[in-house]
């Protein structure tokens, strides 16, 4: 029996609508992007995800959630880390058309780690 592939922990701040779609996918996949969302942005830092969920999602959606999930590290190597501000504001930019393949490399379930209302 071979060892499971190494994984990288990612976080995603999300609102209630997207979270309902993740729940409908049995916590195994992110939903397709809307036409005005050409990029899927998971983040590499829990504190950054908390800040977005608490300060942006709550204001715009009435609630914000931080999710944590694991993705095969070798697969993620194709996406350069992008700095969106300070040194800890790091994210990956996954083109919307690549999201089904990205989802296929999620290992285990997507978990909610923080809830803000």
pLDDT tens profile 11-33: 999 999 999 999 999 999 999 99
Nearest residue to 69 (alpha-carbon basis) of 40, 39, 107: 107
Residue 1 placed within a domain: no
* Global confidence as pTM: 0.94
Residue 60 placed within a domain: yes
Nearest residue to 106 (alpha-carbon basis) of 36, 22, 33: 22
pLDDT tens profile 58-104: 999 999 999 999 999 999 999 999 998 888 889 999 999 999 999 99
Q: What is the domain-level CATH number for residue 101?
A: 3.20.170
Residue 2 placed within a domain: no
Domain count, the chain: 1
Q: CA dihedral in degrees (89, 79, 23, 58; nearest 10)?
A: 20
Report the alpha-carbon distance of residue 87 to residue 91 in Å, rounded: 11
Domain that holds residue 30: 7-116
pLDDT tens profile 36-63: 999 999 999 999 999 999 999 999 999 9
Q: How high is the pLDDT of residue 61?
A: 96
Residue 69 placed within a domain: yes
> Tokens 């393949």 appear where?
101
Q: Is the predicted pLDDT of residue 111 greater than 80, yes or no?
A: yes
Residue 104, Cα to own-chain centre: how many angstroms? 14
| Residue 60 CB partners (closer than 8 Å, separation 6+) | 15
Q: How high is the pLDDT of residue 50?
A: 97
């Amino acid at each position: 029996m071979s060892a499971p592939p190494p994984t990288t922990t990612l976080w995603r701040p999300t609102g209630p609508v997207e979270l309902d779609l993740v729940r409908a996918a049995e916590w195994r996949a992110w939903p397709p992007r809307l036409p005005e969302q050409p990029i899927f942005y998971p983040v590499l830092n829990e504190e950054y995800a908390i800040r977005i969920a608490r300060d942006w999602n709550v204001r715009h959606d009435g609630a914000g959630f931080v999710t944590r999930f694991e993705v095969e590290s070798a697969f993620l190597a194709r996406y350069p880390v992008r700095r969106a501000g300070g040194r800890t504001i790091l994210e990956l930019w996954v083109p919307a058309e690549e999201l089904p393949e990205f989802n296929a490399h999620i290992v285990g379930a997507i978990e909610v780690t923080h809830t803000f209302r």
